[in-house]
Amino acid sequence: GIQVEQSPPDLILQEGANSTLRCNFSDSVNNLQWFHQNPWGQLINLFYIPSGTKQNGRLSATTVATERYSLLYISSSQTTDSGVYFCAVGNSGGSNYKLTFGKGTLLTVNP
Amino acid sequence: EAQVTQNPRYLITVTGKKLTVTCSQNMNHEYMSWYRQDPGLGLRQIYYSMNVEVTDKGDVPEGYKVSRKEKRNFPLILESPSPNQTSLYFCASSPAGQWFQPQHFGDGTRLSIL
Beta strands in chain A (DSSP E): 4-7, 10-14, 19-25, 31-37, 43-48, 52-56, 59-64, 69-74, 83-90, 100-101, 105-110
Tell me the residues of A at the B interface, defined by beta carbons under 8 Å apart.
1, 30-31, 33, 41-45, 48, 50, 86, 88, 90, 92, 96-104
| pLDDT over 70 (residue B46) | yes
Share of chain B above pLDDT 90, in %: 79
How far is the alpha carbon of B59 from chain A, nearest alpha carbon, in Å? 8
Per-residue confidence band for B2, with pLDDT thresholds at 50, 70 and 90 = confident
Sign of CA dihedral B73, B79, B85, B87: positive
Tell me the per-residue pLDDT of B15-37, one tens digit each, with 9 for 90 and over: 999 999 999 999 999 889 999 99
pLDDT of residue B96: 66
pLDDT of residue A97: 78
Lowest mean pLDDT among A107-111, B44-48, B103-107: B103-107
Non-local (6+) Cβ contacts of A10 within 8 A are: A105, A106, A108
